[in-house]
Each structure stands twice: as structure tokens, then as C-alpha cells.
Amino acid sequence: MVKSFKTFLKHTAKDFHNQSVNPPVVRASTIIFKSMKHIRKTQKKAQKNPVGGHYDYGRQGTSTTYILQKILTKLEGSYHVFTTPTGFGSVFLAIFSVVRPGDEIIAADPVYSPTRILTQDFLKEFNIKTIFYNPHDLKTLERSITKKTKLIFVENPGSNTFDFQDLGKIVSIAKKYKILTAIDNTWGTPYYLKPIKLGFDMSIVSATKYYSGHSDVMGGSLAVNKKVFQKVKAAEKITGLRLGPDDAYLITRGLRTLDVRLDRHRENAKKIAAFLSKNKKIKLLYPFKKNSLNFRMWKKYYSGASGLMGLKIKSNNINSVRKFVNSLKLFGYGYSWGGFESLVLHQEFRETGNRKFMNLAKDEHLVRFHIGLEDPNDLIADIKQALRHLK
Ligand SMILES: Cc1ncc(COP(=O)(O)O)c(C=O)c1O
């Protein structure tokens, strides 16, 4: 009867057995059975229905992880969702599941820098080659396809530069050449973008960010369609990349308010973007300016925007950029994002990695804001006082 996902998130996973609104944390290494017969019966059920939550060992999960997987599967509109101990674990699992020595990967140039290191450097040692494409020129993607291409790995928007890509076009190119696709959808989450429904085979979200929302847990989710399910399941089993029940509980708790928080992140970010857009030294890396390519690509696929944005600052005085960032009072300095609190980072090479298609002039500097859930007027006042230092 319940139609809206917002309502579903509030009502799901009640525990009438224990009479608690939230499900218990079930911690188990040994899953205990009443008889050997019961074990065999459960194993048969698991074979018949591999997504049905039938476990015979704690590494496969418990009811706590299963509840989270069920909620996420509904949110993604996918065949199944695997959960991993970190978001990067999901990135690794997606790639490891489908790529073998001799294969090639084509990845978006602005992928999260550890994803770049994994594909470009680490997998090279296993005779897996990665070619990077320009997110705004998909000819560079299509041109890179060879008989060996196994996977197209997208991150949308691009890490730190926030390049929005033509996702539908990427999917159709992949289908034309029968290549598998994966996307890192941490920025939008399936609340704003449902990649599996768009035709992607795999979709990753770092649950550390908006799912948990409270900056106190790490986790990842990998949504899959039926086509790749068995491959990912086999890889998950062999790597042991599974989320523990305590973290699963915290992520489920965070999901209760995902829609409320993301809507507020979006509203706050929009107000900050409107304020920043008036500053001539700043180019916003956020879908705000209506006629820009990034805005059009965002509008085409997303139903909303999250709170993470970039600022490309033009200044010949790098110390004044540093002073601007260091003068902020309400923005914490630290990695990660997606929590309730605002954060800032001055981006250096470490964050962006050795990109092929990033044209950053000497007098251009990248700053990243995560806009939290504070009163946006306070955040604007804080940015205003800090901007006095920017020369
Ligand atoms: C876009 C993106 N994907 C994946 C990850 C990795 O997630 P985790 O830190 O949970 O491993 C991050 C972390 O910052 C990220 O920004």
C-alpha cells in the first residue's frame, strides 16, 4: 500500500518480535541451527534463492545486514545489493568481479583518486590495462574500445571537478559493444539517480557518506542487475568483503532520514551556490548555472543535487586562497563528506591525482565544500568574512 520511498524508510524494518521500532543488531560468527537437517534445509533454500537471506555462516551476514540490503535493493531498483566494509571495498569488488588478466578497462578521467591508483597502477601488475576518457568528450571513450575492453567505469559527477556526463550515451555505447558498466554514484545516491534503472550493470555508493550521514561509520554498497549477480556473488565470497552488523545497523538508522537530510543539503547548497555565483573570482563546480553543460547533464538524469561542490578560484596569490580557507570558522577541515556538518578542503595534487584531461591553469585553485545541515545564513556569513582574504 505504501507508495512513497520516504514513507517506506520510516516504516520498514520494525521488529514486532522484540517489540522495538528498530531491528536488533544480530552479531554472529556461528549461525546456530537446531539440527543438521535444518542446516541442509537452509543451504537448499540459499541455493534456490541466493538473495533470500539464508545464511549458514556469519561471514555471509546476519538478519541485520540482510535488512540493510533489502532496503537498499528497493531504493536502487536493482536485482541485489552487496554491502562492503568501506565504499572503496565496493569499488574494488565491482572491478574484481568482472575483470581478468588481459582485459582492459575504460575509466572516467576524474575518478576518485584511489580508484585511479587501483586501475591505472595496481591492476597493471595483473596485466589489466586502463585507459581514461574525457568526461565531456565521449568520442575519447568510444575510440578507446578494443576487443579486450571488459568494463567502462564511470564516476558521476567527476571527483572534485564535478563533471556531469551523458550517462545515457555511455550506457548505449557500452551496450553497442557489449561491455559491462559500473558507476560510482556516491554524490547523488539512488535518492537522486538510479543507475541500474538507467541501464548500468553495477552501481556503487560509499555508505560512509550520505547513507550513514553522521560521520561515524564506514561502509559501501554495490547494487547489481541480474546479469552480473553471480559473478559479483562469487567474488564477494572469495574476498570476504562483507559489512559487519554493527555498521549495518548504523547505516540502516541513517537511511531513516536520508531523504530529509539530502533535501536539506540540497536547499542549503543551492543558497550557498547562489551567494558564491556572484563572486567574479569563483567558478562554481556545481549544477547551478542553468545554461552550462554540467547543469544540462545533471538536469537530464538527476532529480536533485547533494551538498558537495567545488570552487575554481582564480587568483595569482595562492596564499590568499589558503588564508580564505583557513579563516572559515564553521567548516571543519577533513576528508570525507556526506555528514551533517560542513567541511572544506583546499585541493592539491593528492586529491585530484595525475589526470589526463584536467586543464587547471597556474592561477586556478580548487576548493571543495561539503555543505552541511547548519543554518545556511550562518554558513554564508562565515564564507563572507573569509572571502575578505581572497586576493
Ligand atoms: C566518490 C567516492 N567514491 C568512493 C569513496 C570511498 O568510500 P569510503 O571512504 O567509504 O571507502 C569516496 C570517499 O571519499 C568517494 O568520495
Q: What is the mean pLDDT of each run of 10 residues along the chain (391 residues)?
A: 86 94 96 98 97 95 97 98 98 98 98 96 98 98 98 97 98 98 98 98 98 98 98 97 98 98 98 97 95 95 98 96 98 97 88 81 95 98 98 95
Coil, helix or strand for 324? helix
Question: Cα-flanking dihedrals φ and ψ of residue 133, to 5°?
Answer: -110, 155
What's the pLDDT score for residue 2?
Answer: 63
Ligand 1 nearest atom to the CA of residue 208, by list position: 10
Strand duo 180-184 + 202-206: pairing: parallel
Alpha helices, H only, 132-291:
139-142, 167-176, 189-192, 195-198, 226-239, 245-255, 258-276
Ligand 1 centroid vs 88 CA: distance in angstroms? 6
Beta bridge partners of 83: 221
Long-range contacts of residues 226-229, Cβ cutoff 8 Å, at least 24 apart: 226/79, 227/180, 227/201, 228/97, 228/98, 228/180, 228/201, 228/202, 229/50, 229/51, 229/79, 229/80
Distance of CA 109 to the CA centre of its chain: 16
Cβ neighbors of 293 (< 8 A, separation 6 or more) are 136, 164
Whole-number Å distance, alpha carbon 208 to ligand 1 midpoint, is 7
Q: Which of 86, 112, 308 to mutate to test the pocket of ligand 1 (most atoms within 8 A of CB)?
A: 112
Residues 313, 365 contacting (CB under 8 angstroms): yes
pLDDT of 348: 75
pLDDT at 358: 87
Q: Which residue out of 88, 164, 202, 337 has the highest number of ligand 1 atoms within 8 Å of its CB and is therefore the one to mutate?
A: 88
Residue 115 near residue 352, CB atoms below 8 Å:
no
Give the phi and the psi of residue 137 in degrees, each rounded to 5. Answer: -140, 90
Q: How far is the CA of 87 from the centre of ligand 1 (A)?
A: 5
Q: What is the DSSP letter of 117?
A: I
State the pLDDT at residue 309: 98
Question: Which residue's CA is the closest to the ligand 1 atom numbered 10?
Answer: 87
Does the beta carbon of 218 lie inside 6 Å of ligand 1? yes
Chain Cα centroid distance, residue 337: 11
How far is 319 from 374, CA to CA, in rounded Å?
Answer: 28
Confidence at residue 372, expressed as pLDDT on a 0 to 100 scale:
98
pLDDT score, position 349: 66
* Protein residue closest via CA to atom 16 of ligand 1: 112
> Does the beta carbon of 112 sit less than 6 angstroms from any atom of ligand 1?
yes
Ligand 1 pocket test target in 186, 203, 221, 351 with most atoms within 8 Å of CB: 186
83 lines ligand 1 (CB under 6 A): no
- Answer whether 113 contacts ligand 1 (Cβ < 6 A): no
Q: Is the C-beta atom of 84 inside 6 A of ligand 1?
A: no
Query: Residue 238 burial (CB < 10 Å; 0-12/13-18/19+)?
Result: exposed
Pocket flag, ligand 1, residue 215 (CB < 6 Å): no
Mutate to test the pocket of ligand 1, among 90, 95, 163, 206 (most ligand atoms within 8 A of CB): 206
- Please give the pLDDT value at position 359: 81
